[in-house]
């Protein structure tokens, strides 16, 4: 119960931080905001790495491996494509 309460506290506070930070992003940057925050949601990768590396059973290893692949596509693809877009907004120097 105690860990749950701590987790819930973190969850609620983080949502408020999210609201505060995101409302300041101008509409011009909404697409990169989406792909960038999308990359951050790939944080599941750390859970995936744990499952793939722990090798509890063949099934969990396969699940973990698939999760690592999905999450890495999400993380690497997300940050890279966001970078590509933001470079365009910076314009030519």
Partner 1 sequence: MTGTEALIILAYLLASVLFIIGLKGLAHPRTAVRGNKIGALGMFIAIVVTLMDKKIISFEIILAGIILGGLIGGVFAVKIAMTAMPQLVGLFNGFGGAASLLVAGAALIEAGGMGSTQLNVATVASGIIGSVTFWGSFIAFGKLQGFISGGQTLIPARHIINILLVSAAMVIGYMIVSDPLNTNMYWYLVIVASFLGVLLVIPIGGADMPVVVSLLNSYSGIAAAATGFVLNNNGLIIAGSLVGASGIILSKIMCVAMNRSLINVLFAKFSVVAGEKTKADDIYEGKIKSTNADEIAMLLDGVQRVVIVPGYGMAVSQAQHAVRDFANLLESKGVEIEYAIHPVAGRMPGHMNVLLAEADIPYEKLKEMDAINPTLDQTDVAIVVGANDVVNPVARTDPSSPIAGMPIIDVDKARTVVVIKRSLSPGFAGIPNPLFAADNTLMFFGDGRKAIVEINNALQDG
| Contact set for partner 1, span 14-43 (CB under 8 A) | 14-19, 21-43
Query: Under 8 Å CB-to-CB from 70, ≥6 apart: which residues?
Result: 48
- Count residues contacting partner 1 (CB under 8 A)? 83
Tell me, residue by residue from 51 to 90, as one string, x for binding to partner 1 by CB under 8 A and - for no binding: xxxxxxx-xxx-xxxxxxxxxxxxxxxxxxxxxxxxxxxx
The terminus-to-terminus CA distance of the chain in angstroms comes to 55
Residue 48, Cα to own-chain centre: how many angstroms?
Answer: 13
> To the nearest whole angstrom, how small is the minimum distance from the Cβ of residue 8 to partner 1?
8
> To the nearest whole angstrom, how small is the minimum distance from the Cβ of residue 16 to partner 1?
8
């Amino acid at each position: 119960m105690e860990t749950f309460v701590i987790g819930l506290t973190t969850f609620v506070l983080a949502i408020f931080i999210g609201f505060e930070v995101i409302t300041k992003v101008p509409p011009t940057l909404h697409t990169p905001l989406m792909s960038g925050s999308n990359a951050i949601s790939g944080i599941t990768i750390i859970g995936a790495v744990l499952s793939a590396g722990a090798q509890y059973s063949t099934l969990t290893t396969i699940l973990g491996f698939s999760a690592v692949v999905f999450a890495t596509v999400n993380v690497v693809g997300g940050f890279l494509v966001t970078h590509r877009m933001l470079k365009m907004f910076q314009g030519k120097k």
